[in-house]
Structure 1
């Protein structure tokens, strides 16, 4: 029977690592506050509407001709512009916590990811005594 990642064994280690990583990740993200930084500004004016122009043009071209390469490129560019614009306007704050809690969160996350990676590694065959 193959284990984690098609390697022999390691299923138990993988799931223990997954539980540790999930616990550490949850504790870490629980200490983070995310807010918006305001509106998109372009020359002092709200620029969000302008960022939608490639998206709208691409969508229109795709509905006119589904094989339009220009339409697909404009749609993709419009989605990237909106996604990057949203991410660039986020403000992320790490809430004050104790050093112990921070080390616990990061330690659980690192230990879990390390155990998961180790479980996927191919192990050398065990030597048998003759």
Structure 2
């Protein structure tokens, strides 16, 4: 059956569509590479800025200062007493048949110790000049913006 004029037009349109698809795929692969590069450059800027910020923070703790952590009126909870639930939990693990209770008491003891350390921790900003301050927060803001732009870009 001979090809009609409409068949020739359809063939021509199909070939144009294939060429367009090839050119779009090559362009999108190039843009994917630049998007990936932009993401990693942003990640490096963000990491560098956060590193500089954390280098300028001094961490101190008053844990164990004066031999007690908590004061309730005239009653002081000694530092050693917060270890008591951990010791009891370990003993329960060895003595009891149902070990779940020992694990619960041990977990509560670990949480108490971690909370007591975190509650007595203080952060202090180390003195820095304005240029360093602007560089630190500028790197963090620029890097965070680049990462977020690439993560939430809609094409």
Tell whether the structures are fold-level matches, with TM greater than 0.5: yes
Give the TM-score, by structure 1 length: 0.73
The answer (yes or no) to whether the contact 2:69–2:116 under 8 Å persists in 1 is no
Q: CA deviation at 1:27?
A: 1.0
- TM-aligned CA distance change 1:67 to 1:107, over 3 Å: farther
Gaps of 5+ in 2: 1-30
The one of 47, 58, 61 aligned to 1:22? 47
Supply the distance in 1 between the matched residues of 2:100 and 2:127 (Cα, whole angstroms).
49
User: Which range moved further: 89-98 or 15-24?
Assistant: 89-98
Q: CA deviation at 1:72?
A: 2.1
Q: CA deviation at 1:93?
A: 1.0
Taking only aligned residues, the RMSD between alpha carbons, in angstroms, comes to 2.5
Q: RCO higher in 1 or 2 (8 Å CA, sep ≥ 6)? A: 1
Give the TM-score, by structure 2 length: 0.63
The answer (yes or no) to whether the contact 2:49–2:137 under 8 Å persists in 1 is yes
Supply the distance in 2 between the matched residues of 1:61 and 1:120 (Cα, whole angstroms).
49
1:1-130 alignment runs, 5 A limit: 9=32, 10-39=35-64, 40-43=68-71, 47-64=78-95, 68-124=99-155
